[in-house]
Amino acid sequence: MNQIKGLSRHQVTFGSLEDYISADNPVRVLDTFVDKLDLNQLGFVQRELKSEGRPGFENETFLKIYLYGYVNGIRSSRKLERECSRNIELQWLTGKLTPNYHSIADFRKNNPTALRNLFKLFITFLKDIDLIGGKTIAIDGTKVRSNNSKKNNYNPKKIERHLVFIEQKSNEYLAMLEASDAEEDQLKISEVQQKLQRLKEKKIDYQILQKQLEESGEPQVSTTDKDSRALLVQGQVVEISYNMQAAVDDKHNLIVATHTINRNDRNALSAIALEAKKNLSVDKFTVLVDKGYHNGRELNRCKENNIETICAHAEIVNSNSHGTTPDYLVTKFVYDPKTDTYMCPQGSILKTTGTWHKKTRERDSHHFKKYRTPDCKTCPVKSLCTGRADGGREIDRSEYAQAVEENAERYKNNKELYRKRQEINEHIFGTIKRKWSYYYTDLRGLEKINGEHSFICLVYNLVRAINIISVPDILEKINNWTPNYRAIVRYITFLLYSARFSTIKI
């Protein structure tokens, strides 16, 4: 039976690297894209040339290596070094250069801001070739495990437990020391003294952490990656992680804004929405977000910036829930903005003195006004409306109530549009975390994490764009593209300005 046999290892052949890469190979897009860029204008750190020793590699070489690596699920610098010497596509990309793993790792570590700029610049390219609609954006976040174990994350209660344990063990060892001293057992005395010394050192470490928490006002501290935090992942599952935010355009599920924070979603909406608006350079668009983002202040900030929100909300609770029946929930009270009053289901008018009160919750605060009516004293259905025996019904109205009510009305009237949110968002997170396995990070610190996550989103957009319009077409569009670096300068200015006035690190 005839069978196909391979070429002899000793056969001499003539050819070039170009012969091994087909015209529609996606690696050609990576090469053309990088060659089109001016990495100096993007802020990539240029290594100083030394008068002696081996010359360094160009930044373009490292960028091509990392783009190829992340596209193919390889981000370890040691694995990338091995691929450079055995992978024909990487050899074609780099011209058979094989940088060592340390140099490869330094490029990613030293250029977090430049990687964010590169992501932003590629969005302008996607806009230029009409792959972004810019009308409806879905925003969501996903937790990415940090390089910090649960053991090395502390809160005041955990530190207190350790200190109590150290105190108990110290007392036990002191009793053992006293008994050994009476028996004049020098070996045992020496062992116990060493254990006591270790406990003393541990106690000092925990006291330092305790003082650090008190001075910073933070609820927790991590010792390996200082910026990482214990965040709720699902249900009651907590992981030491970061919260990767992403704004995704509904036209082709392409990411138009991203940054990473170390808090939950509740205070994150306006920052990522404003970033998307800056990136898209549009006056108005609609944002779809789940109920985890529902926050009056954030909704109001979006409203002030002409961003329409369709945000789900949790069940509305009543400030006088004890004794309240469904017919007298706060939603049954009609607010009149002209007179700044509420009308109850019985027709009575609740008025306010105009005094603003302050409420603090979860390191967040807002102002509100109270609304009351004396008619509660003689109301025949008071027991159905409130459980307050010494007073009548009282309603609190937040300073952000109008933005919340307008959002609730949009949510009520756009249920079909809101249902598309998961289809838009979950697609990208499923690809990034499940298909590519980028559910954790080896880097440390918010700045570096932001750089890597922006690069991951860039790679996602690049791969998706290739799948949408094919390799030959995107090569032609890149060749005809003129990068606008001035947009990057405006973007950096915006981030610096936002960081000064925002409580959220981006």
Residue 320 above 60 pLDDT?
no
What's the pLDDT tens digit per position in 89-100? 999 999 999 999
What's the pLDDT tens digit per position in 165-189? 999 998 888 888 777 666 666 777 7
- The average pLDDT across 17-39 equals 93
End-to-end Cα separation, the chain, in angstroms: 66
What's the pLDDT tens digit per position in 354-406? 888 888 776 677 888 899 888 888 888 888 888 777 778 888 888 898 999 99
- Give the CA dihedral 421, 423, 427, 429, nearest 10 degrees: 30
Residue 220 above 80 pLDDT?
yes
Distances (CA, A) of 204 to 159, 173, 197: 11, 18, 11
Percent of the chain predicted with pLDDT > 90: 59
Give the model's pLDDT for residue 490: 55
Give the model's pLDDT for residue 376: 87
- The DSSP code sequence of 52-64 is SS-----HHHHHH
Structure tokens, 103: 């140099």
> In Å, how far from its chain's centre is CA 31?
29
- The DSSP code sequence of 162-176 is HHHHHHHHHHHHHHH
Residue 67 above 70 pLDDT?
yes
What's the pLDDT tens digit per position in 225-275? 999 999 988 878 899 999 999 999 999 999 999 999 999 998 899 999 999
User: Residue 222's CB: how many other CB atoms inside 10 A?
Assistant: 22
Residue 321 above 50 pLDDT?
no
Helical segments of 346-445, H only: 382-385, 401-413, 415-429
Give the model's pLDDT for residue 185: 63
pTM for this structure?
0.87
Query: How does residue 315 score in pLDDT terms, banded at 50, 70 and 90?
Result: low
Q: Are 414 and 289 in contact (CB under 8 A)?
A: no
The Cα angle at residue 219 between residues 203 and 167, in degrees rounded to 5: 20
Q: Which residues of 415-435 are buried (b: 16+ CB within 10 A; e: fewer)?
A: eeebeebeebbeebbeebbee
Query: How does residue 505 score in pLDDT terms, banded at 50, 70 and 90?
Result: very low
- Strand, helix or coil at 222? strand
Phi and psi torsions of 330, nearest 5°: -60, -25
Residue 77 above 90 pLDDT?
yes
- Strand, helix or coil at 145? strand
